[in-house]
Amino acid sequence: MPTKPHLLVVATGGTIAMRLDPASGGPVPALTGAELVAAVPPLATVAEVQVEEFANIPSEHMTPEFWLRLARRLQALLAQGWADGVVILHGTDTMEETAFFLDIVLPGETPIVLTGAMRAATDPNPDGPANLLDAATVALHPESRGRGVLIVMNGQIHSARRGTKVDTSDLDAFESVQPPDLGRVRSGWVQFSQAWTPHVHVPLPERLPRVDIIPMYAGVDDFALAAALERGAAGLVIASVGAGNVNEALYQGILKALAAGVPVVISSRVPFGRVRPIYAYAGGGVALQRAGAIFANDLNPQKSRVLLMVGLGAGYDREGLARLFE
Ligand code: DAS
């Protein structure tokens, strides 16, 4: 009798683990990872499953300190050498941030797949069980090895770098908004596409300094940027407009931050395409680059923040940070 592969399921919470609570009027955290695994009988036939009840929180409650604790726990669990694949159950609202953080700091061949649900476990037609089974299938598939951290939702496989939540409520909530997603999974069948995703690795830092995201919008001034610096932000990410442009007021604030030695990364609120320096007027990308701002390439603001926090936490200087984003 061939031995079954070893699947580690790490539960952190999210809608997948929620039950409708009529008294409070909506879904609330309720189910354990073990209960969620038990609700997917085929899992036990394809794998030997170990469950780590790490947390049970909505992913809006995630913090950089939580990411560090989760990464350290995963390092310890993976070091035991038992797991052939890992599934992390997680809320979808900040899933991409946790996934990208783990993708940066956890090197290694063992596939780590995050999944969740858009509907609570008590929904008449929950998507959690199928997502959990699909995520387990991908986590245990040989072609998943060495691809870094993945997101599996609604039958799609996304890299942590590319997958992002693009719909507030649809079952098909995640997309890879740069080159295509990595592939498809359905009922035990896995098919990876040829899409290639750049991979950056930084050793797990002890701490993650404060980095804030500053939005650009018509008429904005530098109040949020100044407040972030007052709160001790060690770095800033600008959710700029277009391919990497801001207005005059924000531009002046960015110049002050750069002059104070605070690294500034230019990302964009635009979901598709990459940022790149184009315009030479005050606040245009060329002016920002010349002033010393770092361009975020293909990373959206929330992922740019993760990478900047890790780079700063690992002690990278400006040049080192710029190379991380190239
Ligand atoms: N409950 C929200 C969260 O935890 C949404 C979800 O899980 O899908 O992110």
pLDDT digits (tens, 9 = 90+) for 313-324: 999 999 999 999
- The pLDDT of residue 183 is 84
Output phi, psi for 8, to 5 deg.
Answer: -100, 125
For residues 229 and 164, state if they share a domain. Answer: no
Sign of the C-alpha dihedral, residues 164, 307, 139, 12?
A: negative
* Residue 259 pLDDT greater than 80, yes or no: yes
Ligand 1 pocket mutation pick from 92, 164, 166 by most atoms within 8 angstroms of CB: 92
The closest residue, in CA terms, to atom 7 on ligand 1 is 91
| Tokens standing for residue 324 | 């991380």
Q: Which residue has the tokens 């700091």?
A: 105
**Letter string b/e over residues 35-46, b meaning 16 or more CB atoms within 10 A of that residue's CB:** ebbeebeebeee
Is 116 close to ligand 1, i.e. is its CB under 6 Å away? yes
Does 268 reside within a domain? yes
d(CA 192, CA 256): 46
Can you give the CATH number for the domain in which 140 is found? 3.40.50.1170
Is 176 close to ligand 1, i.e. is its CB under 6 Å away? no
Q: What is the pLDDT of residues 172-192, one digit of tens each?
A: 999 998 766 788 888 888 888
Is 29 close to ligand 1, i.e. is its CB under 6 Å away? no
Does 49 reside within a domain? yes
Q: What is the mean pLDDT of residues 276-287?
A: 96
Q: What is the pLDDT of residues 218-253, one digit of tens each?
A: 999 999 999 999 999 999 999 999 999 999 999 999
Contact status, residue 69 vs residue 101, Cβ threshold 8 Å: no
For residues 174 and 243, state if they share a domain. Answer: no
Q: Please say if 15 is a catalytic residue.
A: yes
Domain boundary among 192, 222, 237: 192
Using a pLDDT cut of 90, give the percent of the chain over it: 90
- The pLDDT of residue 36 is 98
Instruction: Considering the candidates 3, 12, 15, 32, report the single residue annotated as catalytic.
Output: 15
H helical segments located in the chain: 33-38, 42-46, 64-79, 95-105, 128-139, 223-230, 248-259, 285-291, 301-313, 318-325
* Residue 305 pLDDT greater than 80, yes or no: yes
Nearest-atom index, ligand 1, CA of 95 = 9
Nearest-atom index, ligand 1, CA of 27 = 1
Domain boundary among 159, 192, 225: 192
For residues 187 and 219, state if they share a domain. Answer: no
For residues 187 and 266, state if they share a domain. Answer: no
- The pLDDT of residue 188 is 85
Is 96 close to ligand 1, i.e. is its CB under 6 Å away? no
d(CA 55, CA 59): 10
For residues 112 and 239, state if they share a domain. Answer: no
For residues 166 and 240, state if they share a domain. Answer: no
Structural domain that includes position 70: 6-192
- The pLDDT of residue 177 is 83
* Residue 159 pLDDT greater than 70, yes or no: yes
CA of 59 to the centre of ligand 1 (A): 6
Is 12 close to ligand 1, i.e. is its CB under 6 Å away? no
CA of 29 to the centre of ligand 1 (A): 10
Nearest-atom index, ligand 1, CA of 94 = 9
161: Cα within 13 Å, side-chain hemisphere: 22
- The pLDDT of residue 179 is 63
Is 58 close to ligand 1, i.e. is its CB under 6 Å away? yes
Contact status, residue 111 vs residue 150, Cβ threshold 8 Å: yes
For residues 229 and 304, state if they share a domain. Answer: yes
For residues 228 and 169, state if they share a domain. Answer: no
Does 117 reside within a domain? yes
Q: What is the mean pLDDT of residues 191-213?
A: 90
Is 118 close to ligand 1, i.e. is its CB under 6 Å away? yes
| Tokens standing for residue 225 | 């940027």
Domain count, the chain: 2
Q: Which has the minimum average pLDDT: 116-130, 133-147, 193-207, 270-284?
A: 193-207
Q: What is the mean pLDDT of residues 119-145?
A: 97
Does 204 reside within a domain? no
Does 197 reside within a domain? no
What is the helix, strand, coil percentage profile of the chain, to 5? Answer: 35, 20, 45
**What is the model's pTM?**
0.93
Nearest to 111 by CA among 129, 138, 71, 74: 138
